[in-house]
Amino acid sequence: MNTMFDLSGKWALVTGGRGLAIGMAEGLAKAGANVILMSRSTPEAEAFPFVQADLSSRDSLKKGFDEVLSITGGRLDILVNCAGIQRRHEIEEFPIEDWDEVIEVNLTACFELCQLAGNVMLKQGKGKIINIASMISFFGGMRIPAYAASKGGIAQLTKSLAVGWAGKGIQVNAIAPGYMATDMNTALIEDPVRNASILSRIPAGRWGTKEDMAGPCVFLASEASDYVSGAILPVDGAYLVC
């Protein structure tokens, strides 16, 4: 059974350099994968090779991806699209510039990386792509129309790619984290009213952590999930079904 989750010798690219990205990178590494991080700034974990790329720039993204392939010798077995940004404004005042930036980083860059990685994986005859969706892929959120649109798009993009590539050896799935204790949620965690409200809705009784993402990521990256494609897997302490 353990061999089903063995990633020894696999090359994995994880976008993002903090929080959940590090949790998943550490999980993949413990399963044996060679992990490369792609981030705009220096990651908070120094244990992994790091390629700098600004996902809001298509030229920078492509240059970064090419650099990854130069490290791996042209191979890529696992792609985890975790990098993302958030902007909050009242909807009637939401700046179009912020909308464009969120959609570019959270959705368009994800598609571009899926396409770039997919072309490598198609030549190999196999590969695993894991996108990071959100609880906001399932319902709306206050003051975050661009983020909600991007994460709804991630869910549908994942399903579309799965349909196109499932018969070609590439499984495409998404993880939808619940309320996680990351920098993006610091304001919510520090707000006693919002924190109490959120915790009251989580049957597990706690916020999620980056470590909670490791197991699901390894499963979706391994041969244990070879017949799983197009799934949006909630990792939320049962929040979604409460």
The Cα-based distances of 232 to 36, 111, 139, 174, 228 in angstroms read: 24, 16, 14, 5, 10
d(CA 56, CA 102): 9
* Top-confidence residue, 215 or 46: 215
d(CA 61, CA 161): 20
The domain segmentation of the chain, as residue ranges, is 2-235
Q: What are phi and psi of 193, to 5 degrees?
A: -70, -50
What number of CA atoms fall less than 13 Å from residue 82's CA on the CB side?
A: 30
Predicted TM-score (pTM) above 0.95? yes
* Strands 170-177, 232-235: pairing kind: parallel
**With 70 as the cut, is the pLDDT of residue 1 above it?**
no
pLDDT at 184: 82
Of 147, 179, 227, 239, catalytic = 147
Active site residue 239: no
Confidence of residue 78 (pLDDT cuts 50, 70, 90): very high
Q: What is the average pLDDT score of the chain? A: 97
Q: What are phi and psi of 208, to 5 degrees?
A: -75, 165
Domain 2-235 maps to which CATH number in 3.40.50.510, 3.40.50.720, 1.10.1060.10, 3.30.70.270? 3.40.50.720
